[in-house]
Amino acid sequence: MQKRYKRLTYLFDNAIEVYEYLDGRYGAPGQKRGKREKPSPEVIKKRNQWNRERKARHKLRTYMKVNDYLVTFSYRIPARPPDMGTAVGHMKKALTYIRKEYKKRGYPLRWIRNIEVGTRGAWHIHMVVNRVPDADIILKEAWEHGTVNFKLLYEMGEFAELAAYLTKTPETDPRLKEARYNSSRNMPLKEPKKKRLAQWRKKPKEKKGFYLDKQSYHEGTNPVTGYQYRYYTLIRINRRI
């Protein structure tokens, strides 16, 4: 019985993500799938976090530029919310104002945010937002609970580290007591290109004008399916602005 593999390729302006794995339905037509192990709650939790981070990374690579903003909304101590629901309400009100001001200027509002409370009780909201004229003024006017700090986005890993930062949870960062991730709905993602492979390459497929991000490279065996897999990212050498 011949093994068959699949390759999923996600294309972005400055990065290419490749996922290769053994097809669960390989060999002759009608071949039954191999027996699958039921994933443990820990495996499910890790998988959900991995998917959350991947989708955030894809949205950053599709819609955000290095000169957009990474914003941190902080709370004054007397203004700290009593719970996550209250903090979500504060952010919802701020976004309503920001969206209205962006619309006045003829721009859509795109955002990705994580609301976090630390183990010591400090609250912060980290948000990536597309930068438009007067964006700094708009964001400060929208937040009445404390300070607003700005940084321009950065290129390291072509947003991979930023995606991990925006989606962190108490499981990935023990300094957090609770976290709530979300993003605007106007950032749909394209489906990957799909291809069946007759054999497993010993090395990742190279592409002219790109280099392999070694930190992104992972290869192993899926603990649930028992199938071989590999994923990695190619980053454009001369970045498109």
Q: What is the pLDDT of residues 226-236, one digit of tens each?
A: 778 999 999 99
- Report helix, strand or coil for 216: strand
For range 4-26, the mean pLDDT:
88
28 within 8 A of 154, measured Cβ to Cβ: no
Q: What is the pLDDT of residue 150?
A: 94
> What is the rounded CA–CA span in Å between residue 58 and residue 233?
12
Residues in contact with 47: Cβ distance below 8 Å, sequence separation at least 6, in sequence order: 39
CA distances from 215 to 10, 18, 22, 52 (A): 18, 14, 22, 19
User: What pLDDT, on the 0 to 100 scale, is given for residue 155?
Assistant: 64
**pLDDT tens figures, 116-159:** 999 999 999 999 999 999 999 999 999 999 999 999 987 656 89
Q: How far apart are CA 107 and CA 99, in angstroms?
A: 9
**Residues sharing a CB contact under 8 Å with residue 143, sequence separation 6 or more, in sequence order:** 73, 94
Statement to judge: residues 128 and 212 lie in one domain = no
Q: Which two tokens stand for residue 212?
A: 């392999």
Question: In the prediction, which pLDDT does 157 show?
Answer: 63
CATH label of the domain that carries residue 179 = 3.30.70.1910
Same domain, 171 and 206: no
Digit-coded pLDDT (tens) for 147-205: 999 999 876 568 999 999 999 999 999 999 999 999 999 999 999 999 998 888 888 88
User: Is residue 28 scored above 50 in pLDDT?
Assistant: no
Residue 241 inside a domain? The answer is no
- Tokens for 141? 């006017």
66 and 13 inside one domain: no
- pTM of the predicted model as reported, rounded to 2 decimal places: 0.89
Q: 51 with 68, same domain? A: no
d(CA 18, CA 52): 17
Q: Quote the domain boundaries for residue 155.
A: 62-183
DSSP state of 84: H
Overall domain count for the chain: 2
**Torsion angle (degrees, nearest 10) of CA 139, 142, 146, 151:** -10
Structure tokens at 162: 């930023």
